[in-house]
Amino acid sequence: MHSQVKQAKARISSNGRILIPAAIRQQLGVKPGDPILMDVEDGVLRLESYPTRIARIQRELAQYISPGVSLADELVAERRQEARREQDEIDRELEQGRMQRKEEKIA
């Protein structure tokens, strides 16, 4: 098992490239060609792989979700309720159209 690298020194090449040491790439779980996300805050450059960023955001948002609650289930339930409302509205409009045609036939 490799120990975690906390720091490394690198130079910026003349075309602006930085070589990330192999141990750090391995620690980040990135391979050649993988996209990485970069943030600069207070003069500090932070590199993050997409899976790491997603996992971090999920952890940060977890505090706002009650235990045992499935956001996917809630979304599906809300969408089904909205679909029922839409269908009820369509049914009302169709019924109104039928009533108007009946009235026109009578008149």
pLDDT of residue 106: 79
d(CA 6, CA 14): 26
Name the 3-class secondary structure at 47: strand
pLDDT, average across residues 25-34: 90
- Report the percentage of the chain scoring pLDDT > 90: 54
DSSP 16: S
1-64: CATH class? mainly beta
The domain segmentation of the chain, as residue ranges, is 1-64, 68-107
Instruction: Report the distance separating Cα 101 and Cα 25, nearest Å.
Output: 72
Whether the CB-CB separation of 8 and 21 falls below 8 Å is answered with yes
Tell me the percentage of the chain whose pLDDT exceeds 70: 96
User: At residue 37, does pLDDT exceed 90?
Assistant: yes
DSSP labels, 71-94: HHHHHHHHHHHHHHHHHHHHHHHH
Average pLDDT over residues 8-30: 91
Give the model's pLDDT for residue 2: 55
What does pTM read for this prediction? 0.51
Q: Give the pLDDT of residue 102.
A: 78
Tell me the per-residue pLDDT of 61-99, one tens digit each, with 9 for 90 and over. 888 888 888 889 999 999 999 999 999 999 999 999 888
Place of tokens 């505090």: 63
